[in-house]
Structure 1
Amino acid sequence: MDEMQLLRDFAGPAGLPARDDLARKRAELLAATARRPARRRVWASVTVAGLAAAAAAVVVLTPAEDAGPVPEPEPVRILHAAAAKARALPDVIPRPDQFVYTKTRLADGRENETWASADGTHDGLAFVFGHETAVAGCRDGKRATSRCVPHPAAPPDLPTDADAMLAYLHQSTYGEGDTLHDLGREVVELAGGYLRPAARAALYEAVAKVPGLVARTGAKDATGRTVLGVTWDSTTEHGIGNQDEFLFDPVTFAYLGSGMDGAVVSQGIVDAVRQRP
């Protein structure tokens, strides 16, 4: 059977639509077509705005990246590095009857040598500016005809943490009060003697707490060696005092002197006066 004939029989005769109907339908079709892109553009603009808001929210809500710890001031960094190196040294405990030998050199080439009693009770010796001087020990509270207190060259029971060391330094054996001037004298004297590793490290860490520290990098000591210097002003309110200083080897951070008493060129523990390490 002819399918086209069946369709004609079912629908009946169909003529062309009137011209007005065609024009109206065409206008409706064009209007509908024009509206669809507009809807897409609105949606696109909403989407972009939403993404921008989301991005802004991410920026606001995301915490700032951690910039890391604040760098230490240079003099503090030097002292802490010296403390770390000191703490890693072997812990040698001198016998009471031994001596701390120290040799220093001045900028003019002169050298001084001292043999200081480890416990402060034995007779020591000093060669200072070419002159030999006996250093009597303090035994039973007496030195020759005068009373005395032993002053060990290797103090046995010094604090081993910074705060306790700072409190110890402020007790000033010089009896001049609790001033930075006294502190400087204590620090320089202790550093120039023999200290066990933990005590030396604590001394450097205690000095790192002193205000007004200044670093000198690339400086020279009395022997011409390149050193790292850490200075602080210990002048009193009456104008008494000076600028104290620690000098360190820039590689090993070993103590090389105070900058005032000459450069330390040799130091060690010996068994007798006139013996050298």
Structure 2
Amino acid sequence: MDEMQLLRDFAGPARLPAHDELAGTRADFVAGTTTRPRRHRRALRGGITAAGLAAAAAAVVVLTPAAPPAPPAETDPVRILYRAAAAARALPDVEPRPDQFVYTRTLLADGRENEFWVSADGTHDGLQVLFGHETEVAGCRDGKRVQKESRGRTATSRCEPRPAAHPDLPTDADAMLAYLHRSTYGEGDTLQDLGNEVVDLAGGYLRPAARAALYEAVAKVPGLVVRADAKDATGRPVLGITWNGTTEHGIGNQDEFLFDPVTFVYRGSGTTGAVLGHGIVDAVRQRP
């Protein structure tokens, strides 16, 4: 059978299309060839962008190292005190003028703040604000202190200047420990008295070498105890150091010397509170 004849019989006689018919068909063809690739290219570009972003995100995840775990808190009291001494030695060495004041602001656990302006050489009148009440602290001049009291009265007493800045403190640990044991102000020689003396010195202004010697002297005290999970009155994490001592009444020493767990800077004590501000100023009521 002739297949071509069958096609002719089915389709009828063939003819060439007219010119206007070809023009319309040609326009449809051109439109199809120009629009479809454009859509394809847009889709392709979008696909590449999405893939690139996914690859970038994957690269970030792969290349960014996980944060290292926080180092455990130091728990050796001697190491803490020696690191605190090293931090103290790195502080600027500034010697206050005799007519200046050491300013300190502290916060107690109950939320109350105290402020102190203490004469650098102990001879100028200072000021303390305790629990919201202001009291002038008379300096010691010519062996006498003339303290103002209520209703305009005054009280005169013999005295020795107690400078807030100690220019002649030892800068060696052993010499500093001997100085502490002499109990300069006559409190006694128990561990509690020693603690009081350390708190008094640490809360004042010490030049870097003397402050370092103070911490290293405390490191020689037996029975030191560390509280690595301590917090100061502001809620800041601190390292608390105290020792297993008893007072004459059999009460254990409850004071703590507080240090920053990262920088090992002194942050205050359990009794005097957290140190919020500290510095040298030229006048009472001035703040650094």
Paired residues of 1:184 and 1:234 also in contact (CA < 8 A): no
- Deviation of residue 182 (structure 1)? 1.6
TM-score, normalised relative to structure 2: 0.69
In 2, distance between residues paired with 1:194 and 1:158?
11
Q: Per-residue displacement from partner, 1:18-56 (whole Å, max 9, x unpaired)?
A: xxxxxxxxxxxxxxxxxxxxxxxxxxxxxxxxxxxxxxx
1:228 corresponds in structure 2 to 239
Paired residues of 1:115 and 1:274 also in contact (CA < 8 A): yes
In 2, distance between residues paired with 1:99 and 1:244?
26
Q: Per-residue displacement from partner, 1:182-227 (whole Å, max 9, x unpaired)?
A: 2111111000101000000000000000011011113111000011
1:205 aligns with 2:216: yes
Q: Per-residue displacement from partner, 1:154-177 (whole Å, max 9, x unpaired)?
A: 111000010000000001023243
Residues 68-147 of structure 1: pairs in structure 2 closer than 5 A:
74-144=76-146, 145-147=156-158
In 1, distance between residues paired with 2:280 and 2:245?
31
SS at match of 1:244: coil
Q: Kindly tell me the number of residue pairs found equivalent between the two proteins.
A: 206
2:168 corresponds in structure 1 to 157
Paired residues of 1:74 and 1:215 also in contact (CA < 8 A): yes
SS at match of 2:255: strand
Paired residues of 1:217 and 1:229 also in contact (CA < 8 A): yes
In 2, distance between residues paired with 1:112 and 1:217?
26
- Deviation of residue 267 (structure 1)? 0.3
Assess, with a 3 A threshold, how the Cα gap between structure 1 residues 134 and 241 changes in structure 2: closer, same or farther.
farther
1:29 corresponds in structure 2 to none
Structural RMSD (CA):
1.5
SS at match of 1:189: helix
SS at match of 2:247: coil
1:25 corresponds in structure 2 to none
Assess, with a 3 A threshold, how the Cα gap between structure 1 residues 241 and 149 changes in structure 2: closer, same or farther.
farther
Name the stretch that deviates more: 172-181 or 186-195: 172-181
SS at match of 2:267: strand
In 2, distance between residues paired with 1:233 and 1:83?
22
Paired residues of 2:187 and 2:193 also in contact (CA < 8 A): yes
Paired residues of 2:202 and 2:211 also in contact (CA < 8 A): yes
In 2, distance between residues paired with 1:227 and 1:252?
10
2:277 corresponds in structure 1 to 266
Paired residues of 1:233 and 1:243 also in contact (CA < 8 A): no
In 2, distance between residues paired with 1:81 and 1:161?
16
- Deviation of residue 250 (structure 1)? 1.2
- Flag the structure with larger Rg: 1
SS at match of 2:168: coil
Assess, with a 3 A threshold, how the Cα gap between structure 1 residues 152 and 241 changes in structure 2: closer, same or farther.
farther
Paired residues of 2:223 and 2:245 also in contact (CA < 8 A): no
In 2, distance between residues paired with 1:75 and 1:150?
34
Assess, with a 3 A threshold, how the Cα gap between structure 1 residues 92 and 216 changes in structure 2: closer, same or farther.
same
Paired AA for residue 168 in structure 1: Y
1:170 corresponds in structure 2 to 181
In 2, distance between residues paired with 1:129 and 1:241?
27
In 1, distance between residues paired with 2:275 and 2:257?
11
How many percent identity over aligned positions? 83
Assess, with a 3 A threshold, how the Cα gap between structure 1 residues 208 and 126 changes in structure 2: closer, same or farther.
same
1:148 aligns with 2:150: no
- Deviation of residue 240 (structure 1)? 5.5
In 1, distance between residues paired with 2:113 and 2:270?
14
Paired AA for residue 183 in structure 1: L
Paired AA for residue 82 in structure 1: A
